[in-house]
């Protein structure tokens, strides 16, 4: 495996268990070191600090669901199942199926081209209601049961025209999985604007690893 990689990853809840999962998109460099993530997270606005802050799960009526790019919000970088709790090395996790490759053999320009529709979808999700830093997104469902961070993940996959991945040792509870936060017509419009000049696509759905998510964000 050479070049840059776009992968799907999970934060298992509790850590390294099969109970529940929060899903995210990960970008790794040619050394298989994760350098960037896209996450949908339960959030609240800190008026004193004048910034959005994220929390493990939403439970207040004022909590919001927003998307984040660690390139601009580095504190939203999440631990990844298959990597050490504070590690960003993903090679072993890929071998074990804890992370799944969505696209590989990419140049940095390819990565930016593939991410462009996902970033546009994230921008539109955050702008679904008024608020600072591009908007307040959506109300966060109580304890994550409803359209949540996993729905955010699925929405970005759809925008990039990737299939839902299947992970090794699948989590029993993945609320919000496969749900979409934007209409399919909007996502199709975003996707059609994408232009990929090089790189290869790789399916993350080997038949031997099929599972059925029941739908933690």
Residue 124's pLDDT band (boundaries 50, 70, 90)? very high
pLDDT (tens digit per residue) in 23-33: 999 999 999 99
215 lies in some domain: no
Q: What is the pLDDT of residue 208?
A: 35
Does the pLDDT value for residue 198 go beyond 90? Answer: no
76 lies in some domain: yes
79, 17 contact by CB (below 8 A): no
Reported pTM: 0.87
Does the pLDDT value for residue 190 go beyond 80? Answer: yes
- Name the domain count of the chain: 1
Give residue for tokens 């390819």.
Answer: 110
68 class by beta-carbon count within 10 Å (0-12 exposed, 13-18 middle, 19+ buried): buried
Cα separation, 81 vs 174, in Å, equals 14
74 lies in some domain: yes
Q: What is the pLDDT of residue 193?
A: 74
Does the pLDDT value for residue 212 go beyond 60? Answer: no
pLDDT (tens digit per residue) in 31-60: 999 999 999 999 999 999 999 999 988 998
Enclosing domain of residue 80: 4-199
Does the pLDDT value for residue 159 go beyond 70? Answer: yes
Q: What is the pLDDT of residue 200?
A: 43
78 lies in some domain: yes
Region class of 116: left (phi > 0), else alpha (psi between -120 and 50), else beta = alpha
CA angle 39, 41, 42 (to 5 degrees): 180
Residue 206's pLDDT band (boundaries 50, 70, 90)? very low
Our CA dihedral for 41, 134, 75, 176, rounded to 10 degrees, sits at 10
Report the mean per-residue pLDDT for the chain. 89
213 lies in some domain: no
Q: What is the pLDDT of residue 1?
A: 65
156 lies in some domain: yes
Within a 10 A sphere around the Cβ of 18, how many other Cβ atoms? Answer: 12
49: β partners: none
Residue 192's pLDDT band (boundaries 50, 70, 90)? confident
204 lies in some domain: no
159 lies in some domain: yes
Cα separation, 85 vs 2, in Å, equals 25
Q: What is the pLDDT of residue 213?
A: 40
């Amino acid at each position: 495996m050479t070049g840059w990689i776009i992968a799907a990853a999970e934060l298992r809840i509790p850590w390294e268990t099969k109970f529940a999962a929060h899903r995210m998109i990960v970008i790794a460099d040619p050394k298989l070191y994760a350098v960037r993530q896209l996450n949908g997270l339960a959030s609240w606005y800190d008026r004193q600090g004048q910034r959005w802050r994220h929390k493990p799960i939403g439970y207040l009526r004022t909590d919001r669901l927003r998307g984040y790019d660690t390139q601009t919000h580095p504190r939203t970088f999440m631990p990844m199942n298959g990597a050490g709790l504070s590690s960003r090395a993903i090679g072993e996790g890929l071998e074990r199926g804890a992370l799944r490759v969505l696209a590989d053999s990419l140049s940095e320009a390819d990565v930016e081209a593939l991410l462009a529709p996902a970033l546009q979808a994230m921008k539109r999700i955050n702008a679904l209601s008024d608020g600072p830093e591009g908007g307040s997104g959506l109300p966060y469902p109580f304890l994550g049961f409803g359209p949540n961070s996993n729905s955010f993940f699925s929405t970005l996959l759809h925008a990039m025209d990737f299939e839902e991945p299947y992970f090794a040792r699948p989590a029993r509870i993945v609320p919000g999985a496969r749900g979409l936060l934007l209409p399919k017509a909007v996502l199709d419009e975003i996707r059609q604007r994408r232009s990929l000049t090089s790189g290869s696509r790789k399916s993350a759905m080997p038949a031997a690893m099929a599972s059925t998510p029941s739908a933690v964000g």
